[in-house]
A = this chain, B = another copy of it.
């Protein structure tokens, strides 16, 4: 994503997005690819790192995203450690003493989530082993970092997200819990969920399926139930609930399509489908299906309609302008 470095690339095809991700095309492209192909100026250009610190080459192709992001994070941490001695110890402990992004993340999560009865070394072991064994988690972590960096105007760097965003950290812990759940190590998965709910006030059931490139902004109070599915590149603000209805016990939670944006305090209940690229207004109560690229607002929510004519394959490109239009209203 060139705009991350503040450079303006040349021409680009008609399907380029304005700093955002096409929900439909993400099945075959990584978030990193999409972001890097972006020919338009970013909605907001992140503060540029000093060229002496951060090399100006574009991030390499997707499979190298991890090392590129990791090198960015280390450059940022070095810059901040130099500028702020009071924070240097923290930055060395969490970032600069580690050989890779996943070990840094494992260390940081272990020290955040440990308690007097769940020791940090045990959690560290668990996170290191899980991240090492599951490259897809690591790829999703990178996609989440890129998502926060490009979508959140208040995100001033990858290290800022890695170290300070409790929504980001909660999701990464849930990814590990999800693997444990799938391995039928449910007691441990639930213990992890419980610690995340206490430490970050984010309560995501280990069985929930969370895509990549997901942003939990602010994150306090987010609740996502057992059978919920959250697609790639979804953005969820704080106080959002993806909950069940009382009567069902099986598949009873919402299915959120790719690229959906859910405003602060929105509550979506039941096994309803929120179509790709849809937007849910802040404070809305949604109990019904929402078609793709459609906006739902209010309590109870009503549909504002989407762009009906956009059913061509390229319509996914509309996603960004869509967000702009919609964000006039509620995000």
**Residues of chain A having any CB pair with chain B under 8 Å:** 43-44, 80-81, 83-94, 96-97, 103, 107, 110-112, 114-122, 124-126, 153-154, 156, 160, 163-166, 185-188, 190-191, 193-194, 197-201, 203, 205, 218, 220-221, 223, 225-226, 237-239, 241, 243-249, 252, 261, 264-265, 267, 269, 281-285, 287, 297-300, 323-324, 326-331
Q: A81 contacts which chain B residues (CB < 8 A)?
A: 92
Q: A287 contacts which chain B residues (CB < 8 A)?
A: 329-330
Partner of A220 from B187, B221, B324 at Cβ < 8 Å: B221
In addition to A84-B187, A85-B96, A87-B187, 15 A-B residue pairs with Cβ atoms within 8 Å of each other are: A81-B92, A83-B187, A116-B120, A121-B121, A164-B193, A164-B194, A165-B194, A166-B194, A239-B265, A245-B327, A264-B269, A265-B267, A267-B282, A269-B331, A281-B285
CA distance A265 to B93 in the complex (A): 38
CA distance A201 to B107 in the complex (A): 22
Q: A199 contacts which chain B residues (CB < 8 A)?
A: 198
Copies in the complex: 6
Interface-central residue, A96, A116, A261, by most chain B CB under 10 Å: A116
> Closest Cβ of chain B: how far from A291's Cβ, in Å?
20
Q: Quick check: B117 and A116 within 8 Å, CB to CB?
A: no
> Closest Cβ of chain B: how far from A295's Cβ, in Å?
12
Q: Quick check: B84 and A88 within 8 Å, CB to CB?
A: no
Q: Quick check: B247 and A327 within 8 Å, CB to CB?
A: yes
Q: Quick check: B117 and A120 within 8 Å, CB to CB?
A: no
Whether A269 contacts B330 in the complex (CB less than 8 A), given A223-B220, A246-B323, comes out as yes
Partner of A111 from B87, B90, B116, B297 at Cβ < 8 Å: B116
